[in-house]
Each structure stands twice: as structure tokens, then as C-alpha cells.
Amino acid sequence: MAIYSNRIVISVSKIKTMLNITNSQSTPTQPGLQVMWQVPVSTLYTHTIGCNSKLSNLRFAYNGQFVPAWLESINNGTATIWIKMPVSIPANSSITLNLYSNSTLNFDGAYWGEAPQLSSTYGQYDNGGSVFNNYWNFSGTSTPSGINVYTGYGSVTFNNGVIIKGGTTQLDGYNGIATSSTFSPPIIFDYYGTQSTSPSGDSWGWNSAGFYNYFGSYPWRQGTYTTLNFENGVNAASKTDQGGTSTNGGLSTPSNNLFPKSVWTHIYTSSTYYTYQNYINSTGYITGASNTASLNFGIGVGANEATYVPGGMTVYYLRSRAYPPNGVMPTVRLI
């Protein structure tokens, strides 16, 4: 395989696999939509020549040009891959991508990369900034551009991930991060990391993530908010001042008050707010809302949260991505 900038030349001895990306909806996708593809690794072995166990020697292309893609994880034999669509997919239509493998290739951190915690050196091959609309992997020890920090009685520490920790003071106070920019619906935010909570009978221990514009106390004390709350033995309680009907999630409190590393998703549309843990609808949601506000996305904990979670919670990456037509993700199929 010869590579010239982002154009590629494949010799006739190389075999390519084709991917069919189908938009089943009656409206076209946004240009640059990120499409999730969950595929068994064994299927990739079958359909590609020389695909290795880390999937590091793959490339995606459209009309002879590389397409940015990002490996989120390989869990239980299934790879989760995000592909940034090179063009808008028309209504009820498909586009075709090529998938190549070559034994001489590795992640390049540009057109094919992986989540920061997957590399032996944190963020070594992370190209999330090329795939997602907004992306932070919190590499290094400094506050990244586009992120604001708020501390009351706790701390926020950047060290290849961001550790958000409360204090042990039974007072009101906010400790966390938020985007410096605001976002209007429809928009999707995901973050990957642990998630703190507090048991029944707590005092000033809480965790709240979502869309809001007040960072001095409880996010739902003042300002405008549409958030997910974890506290007092109630996990994934959706809260908003923008109307609609809220339904709490049914997550059980972990024994150490810290949920394991997961992808936590927040989908903010003009009339709904849905949240997910690892893409499964087991968390809170709101329907029939009037979400008109453009809001920051934040993650914060209370002043006494360290009483219940002494080590705090850690976020490894935070990203925003485009909302697919009617909330329905295009499908990906090997052909």
C-alpha cells in the first residue's frame, strides 16, 4: 500500500472489504455524522486479510480518501468503532466505504486511532479530535482549552484523565468541570469514566452531570438545567426546569458508591432528554420537554461527596457528536 497524503493507492494483490452505511430515515444525515459500528472481531478476521488482534492495521476510505475512524473498545470479542461520515447520507439511502488492512500498518493517530486509555502511553494514538465535534481526553496535567474548572470544598485534578473529588464538609458547594461553550439541542454528549453517587441518608453528597449554566451549588438550585443526578440512594434521577415528564433510572447503588468505568450518554433534544450507561437505556429520561436553552455541559460533585467516595470519580474522555435523523443511527453492514 502506498500512501500519498490522505489519498491511497492499493495494489492489486491487496483485498478490500466494503461497508454499506444505510440511513433508513426520511431525512438526510448531517455532514460529518459519527456512526457507531459494533462488530465481532471474529467477523473482521474473516472479512479482512491480515487484520491483527488490536485492529491497529485497519483503514477506512471513501472514493480513494481516508476517512477518520476511532476504536472505542474491544469487549467480550466485540469492537466498538466510530466512523466519521465523509458526506451526508441522503434519506432512505446508502453510501459505501472501503475497509483495508495491511500488516505493515499501525494506528496513526490521524485517520485511525484508539481511545486514550487503550494505548500503552496514554493518548498515544488518540485521534478523537478528528472524529468527534468536540473532544477532550485530558492528557497531561493542565486544564485543556474549552474546559472550565470549578472548586468549592473539593478538587479537580488533571493527570491523563480528570479526577473530580468532593470534600468532607457538610455545606453546599460545587466541584467539577464544564465546557466553556454552550450547546443547543439536538446534541449528544458522552463521557467515559467512573461515576460517583451517595447512599441513602447522605448529607451534601451528590453527583450531577448534564446541561446547565449554574456552577456555584446544586446545578438545579439556580439557572437553567436539564441534568442527571446521583445522590441519597437514588441513581440516574433526571431533573429539569424546562418542562416535560421526568422518569428516574433504576441503577442500584454500588457497594463502594462508585459505578465502574462506563460510557455515560446524554442526548439533549428540543422535546426529550435521554441518558444511557454503555448505550443501554437503563438510566433516567425526560419526555415532552421544551428544551429551548443553549447550555454548557458539566460534571460536578458536592462538597461532602468524599465522605462517600474518598477517591473521587475519574473521566477519561468527554466528547460531543451529531444527532442522527430522528435519533436513529445508520446501520453498518459488511458486503
- For 74-86, write each residue's pLDDT tens digit: 999 999 999 999 9
d(CA 143, CA 138): 7
Please say whether the structural domain 147-321 has been given the CATH code 2.60.120.200: yes
Note the pLDDT of residue 9: 44
What CATH number belongs to 2-128? 2.60.40
Q: What percent of the chain has pLDDT over 70?
A: 95
pLDDT range class, residue 13, cuts 50, 70, 90: very low
- 8 A C-beta contact, residue 236 and residue 319: no
Note the pLDDT of residue 101: 87
Q: What is the pLDDT of residues 245-261, one digit of tens each?
A: 999 999 999 999 999 99
What rounded mean pLDDT belongs to the chain? 93
Q: DSSP secondary structure string, 157-211? A: EESSSEEEE--S-SS--EEEEEESS-BPSSEEEEEEEEEE---TT-SS--EEEEE
pLDDT range class, residue 131, cuts 50, 70, 90: very high
What global pTM score does this model have?
0.94
Q: What is the pLDDT of residues 137-147, one digit of tens each?
A: 999 999 999 99
The set of cell numbers assigned to 80 is 466498538
Domain boundaries, given as residue ranges, for the chain: 2-128, 147-321
Q: What average pLDDT does the segment 217-243 reach?
A: 95
